[in-house]
Structure 1
Amino acid sequence: MRKAAIEKTHIFIIMFFMSLVMSIQAPIFAPYAAKLGASSVLIGMMLSIASFTNLTGNLLAGPLVDRFGKKVFITVPILVSGTLFIAHALASNSTSLLILRALNGFSLAFLIPAALALLSSYAKNSQQQGKNMAINGILGTIASIIAPLIGGLLGTAIGYANTYYIIGISLILIGFYTVKTIIEKENIISVDAQAKPLSFIQVIQNPLLKVVFLTGFALMYIHGVIIYEVPYLAVEQGLSTAVTGVLFSFFGVGTFFSLSLFFIHRFSPIKRLIFGLFGMCFSLFLLINSLLALPFLLFCLGFFFGIMMPAMATAVTDAISNEGHGRAFGVMSAVYSAGMISSSFITGIIRDVVSPYFIAFLIGMIALTIIGYSRLQSGAISISKKQYHY
């Protein structure tokens, strides 16, 4: 028991420092790209292409993680990403930076499905699963709050290129730590010799996973709109970039607060997803109509975001056997990427015509309607079966 707790702690340490180090580049990437001659359009392409290659890698990662194990797909991407970040510092023009960004997005696509699948193997039930994912979410949230501050200070003090050297070397050190500490947890299960691994079709056709993936897309679409639109709103109101950072901190504090409510993991993950998505939609409705202050609404959006993220991972592990966790988390990561890509693309097109928050609200409500209908339909089918069972 103690040994398993120590192994799980190593996973938390690795994922925290990995998130911290990689998020350091957030405030320096755009100015560094501009320094190398990238236009605002090209910088947008760099951000999009990383998400696209990440999505492609997510779909490839699932079957490979299930077949070859999780440790290799945690360790190798970290080491490769560290090398690519060092190469960022050596980039001489915007084209080479674009290529490096695409390669980095692809390499990291294998990491998250493998890490989540490994972490899920250290839970005996749904409640433990939710607690593990919540702790991981808390650590990731702390990293996302601290890292931009560190990145901004390093960029000012030692320059952009030297900051990328530090990011790359730090990731390589984390990779070596991973090699030494991560132990692949094997489940001793008697398996039928004729049993076949779950296919992508079986994963996607799983009724519960359909609900999870639809909710995940709506969640990340809303999140993408907030990331894209809040800085524009601050500029339009004549606020400084420092104020924009403070606004995002309200979102992070809300997420941290909800992730700290460990008692909530006693409830069904699907119920938490529905509650969280409804809360985000209601907060967006208030935001569209400017009924409450922006900082408070961002806190609420962060709060409901924090409720949904661990519930999403728990719902995946509840819906499918251990042999399919890699594929399921790979599809889930791809859905997240699709939500972020589509939100950035659509928001850029329609923001001068209609409020992006309204479109995000519609997408969230459409997802809620479909989920509610599917739940009612499944409930009606189960009642019908009970009535005609003799």
Structure 2
Amino acid sequence: MKTAIWLYLFLFVAFFDLHAQYPILTPFALSLGAAPSFIGLMMGLYSITHLPGNLIAGYSVDRFGSRLFIVFSLLLAGVILLLQSQVTNPWQLLVLRSISGFVLAFLSPACMAMLAKMARNQLEQGKLMAGNGVVHNLASVVSPAAGAFLVAQIGFTQAFYLLGWILIVVSLCALLFLRNDADSPAPSEPMSHTEAKSKATRPATIPWLLYSLPVAMACAQGILSFELPLMAFKSGGLMTTGLLFSLVSLGSLITLSMFFLNRYSPYYRSIGGAVVLALTYFLMAAHHELPLSVMLLMLGMAKGVIFPALSSLLIELSGGQRYGRTFSILSIAFSIGAFAGPLLAGQFRELISPYFIAFLVLMAAIIILPFHRNQAVSARTHFT
């Protein structure tokens, strides 16, 4: 568990650093002369360049362990931020953000695989995944407002420069204090040769369309990440943007802290959270009388239910094998959705509310999911 504590500490600093950029990237791009459609393209390319990194990470993490890729990802992301502090036009920012998307694609699969390998059973895996969610959201509650405050005090250039050096220092600490997990066995009970062979085939039983939900969630989040800074920047400035993003993370932290939810089926938790998420986006599209702050808190609470439920469901269906590949596919699903979201919002925001697009995408994923529940149950029954 000592390694888990170090990993949580590094993840907190890394997530804090990365989320601090969310409310300031759009205003920074606008200050360079970028149009909203260009910003949508930039955010989309950042996500789509995750894909080759996710594909490489899936096989490499299983073979070589997580430590190397965590250090590599954080170090290069820090160097890119140092270069980003010196950009003078939107195209330079576009190139650097695209490269950043590739190098950061290794971070999530590597961390999730390392956490999964630390546990001795599925109960411990669930606790470690929940801990990852808590650390992530603790960092993201305060970091958007902190990033906005930082820019207000020292400007864009110095803010990116400082954030870059923080990531570089964290990467060097990870190199010193994290041990490699390439040889760590996946948690399992003693079993016969036939059972072992059966279990090894389980990763192939995960229904591909089960990943429709993370695609839809990331698409909706991409729309929010594109739309919210534009709206808030026009009305309230950087501090307002940072506080609004912090509200979403605070909502996630509330439901992540409700540990009793882990007693319920991860499938039904995913469905329930997705329904609430979709309905909240519908209320935002309809300009409902509810305050924006309340709706953002609801969005965060729904996400706090879905994320650990999805991780638990995938771990269960993976059969305790090939965690790197399982979580890399999950990251790919998030990357595809995060690419589509800002692109759709940038192109169609004059014709239709981007929040209504988020509602439609989420509802489509919810309609598909019940069929996959049957497939997943059939697959598990077949191999047990």
Q: Find the counterpart in structure 2 of residue 19 from structure 1.
A: 15
Hey, what does 1:260 align to over in structure 2?
257
Question: Residues 262-301 of structure 1: matches in 2 within 5 Å?
Answer: 262-289=259-286, 290=288, 292-301=290-299
Distance 1:260 1:150 in 2: 23
Aligned to 2:325: 327
| Letter matched to residue 205 of structure 2 | N
The CA deviation string for residues 269-316 of structure 1, in whole angstroms up to 9 with x for no partner, is 222111111221233344444264433222222111001111122222
Alignment of 1:126-205 (within 5 A): 126-185=122-181, 186-188=183-185
Q: Quick check: 39-48 or 178-187, which moved more?
A: 39-48
Contact map agreement 2:82 2:161 (CA 8 A) in 1: yes
Aligned to 1:250: 247
**Pair 21,247 (structure 1): closer, same or farther in 2 beyond 3 Å:** closer
Residues 207/358 of structure 1: CA separation in 2 closer, same or farther (3 Å cut): same
CA–CA distance in structure 1, aligned partners of residues 87 and 293 of structure 2: 38
Shift of 1:365: 2.0
State the partner residue of 2:82.
Answer: 86
Higher relative contact order (CA closer than 8 Å, sequence separation 6+): 2
Q: Is the 8 A contact 2:233 2:240 kept in 1?
A: no
- Give yes or no for contact 2:26–2:230 (8 Å, CA) kept in 1: no
1:382 and 1:171 mapped to 2: Cα distance?
41
Partner of 1:353: 351
2: distance between equivalents of 1:60 and 1:35?
35
Counterpart secondary structure, 2:270: helix
Identity of aligned residues (%): 31
Closer, same or farther: CA 348–371 of 1 in aligned 2, 3 Å: same
- In 1, are the aligned partners of 2:74 and 2:168 still within 8 Å (CA)? yes
The 3-state SS of whatever aligns with 1:361 is helix
Give ranges in structure 2 of 5+ residues lacking alignment.
none
Specify the SS of the correspondent of 2:23: coil
Q: What are the superposed Cα offsets for residues 338-365 of structure 1, whole Å, 9 maximum, x if unpaired? A: 1111122222333333333333222222
1:143-179, Cα deviation, whole Å (9 max, x unpaired): 2222223322332333322222211221111111101
Matched residue, 1:388? none
Out of 211, 220, 233, the residue aligned to residue 218 of structure 2 is 220
Is 1:130–1:311's contact at 8 Å kept on the other side of the alignment?
no
Q: Secondary structure at the match of 1:159?
A: helix
Shift of 1:328: 1.3
Higher alpha-carbon deviation: 77-86 or 279-288: 279-288
Contact 1:209–1:316 under 8 Å retained in 2 = no
Q: Secondary structure at the match of 1:183?
A: coil
- In 2, Cα distance between equivalents of 1:230 and 1:95: 23
Task: Show the counterpart of 1:46.
Answer: 42
Distance 1:208 1:123, change over 3 A: farther
Q: Which one of the candidate residues 99, 110, 113 is aligned to 1:114?
A: 110
Task: Compute the displacement of 1:224 (Å).
Answer: 2.2
- Structure 1 residue 79 displacement after superposition: 1.3
* 1:315 correspondence with 2:307: no
The worse-fitting range, judged by mean Cα deviation, of 99-108 and 9-18 is 99-108
* Letter of the structure 2 residue corresponding to residue 145 of structure 1: V
Tell me the TM-score normalised to structure 1 length: 0.84
Figure out how many residues of one structure are paired with residues of the other and give that number. Answer: 374
Provide, for residues 169-221 of structure 1, a one-character-per-residue CA deviation record: whole Å limited to 9, x for no partner.
Answer: 211111111011111233347999xx8xx89xx95x5335642x111112222
- Kindly indicate whether the alpha-carbon contact (under 8 Å) linking 2:82 and 2:165 is maintained by their aligned counterparts in 1: yes
Match of 2:302 in 1: 304
Does the aligned pair in 1 maintain the 2:16–2:143 contact within 8 Å? yes
**Long gaps (5+) in structure 1:** 386-390
d(CA) in 2 for partners of 1:165, 1:172: 11
What TM-score does the superposition give when structure 2 sets the normalisation length?
0.85
Deviation by residue 1:230-288 (Cα, 9 ceiling, x = unmatched): 4555579x666644444433322211100111121122222211111122123334444
Find out whether 1:56 has 2:56 as its counterpart.
no
Cα 1:361–1:154 change in 2 (3 A) is: closer
Q: 1:372 corresponds to which residue?
A: 370
